[in-house]
Amino acid sequence: MNASRTSRQGVGINAGKFSKEYQNAVSVMTMHPEDMASIGAQEGDLCRVTTADGEATFACTAGNVPEGMIFVPYGPATCRLMNGSTDGTGMPQSKGWPVDVQPIADDDVS
């Protein structure tokens, strides 16, 4: 998994971190369509992303990312996936995380 800033996130933050625009911008992950099919996810499905440090829920969307990689914008959900180590840089590592991605059944949404 790779996390980064997006233009939608930048526009949304101007409306405020608690605005619907910002929350929508940071709650979507992008996957390769074949990766989505391999886990049984469809456009808009909620998926649980788990790292060694935590888990978060994102709406899944198909996009132009390499197979085997997901992209998520920085935001509150992404912070739940990071550990606190910055290796002296001031920013936690946010590229190349090994993750597990599983669709969430409708009756399993909390």
Confidence category of residue 35, pLDDT binned at 50, 70, 90? very high
Structural domain span for residue 21: 2-105
Q: Residue 82: which region, alpha, beta or left (left: phi > 0; alpha: psi -120 to 50)?
A: beta
CA–CA gap between residue 72 and residue 5 (Å, rounded)? 9
Identify whether 110 is part of a domain: no
Which strand (E) or helix (H) includes residue 39? helix 33-39
Q: How many domains does the chain have?
A: 1
pTM here? 0.79
Q: Is the pLDDT of residue 86 over 60?
A: no
Q: Any idea what the CATH number is for the domain that residue 63 is in?
A: 2.40.40.20
Identify whether 78 is part of a domain: yes
Under DSSP, is residue 84 helix (H, G, I), strand (E, B) or coil? coil
Identify whether 87 is part of a domain: yes
Give the residue with greater pLDDT, 44 vs 82: 44
Express each pLDDT in 59-79 by its tens digit: 999 999 999 999 998 888 887
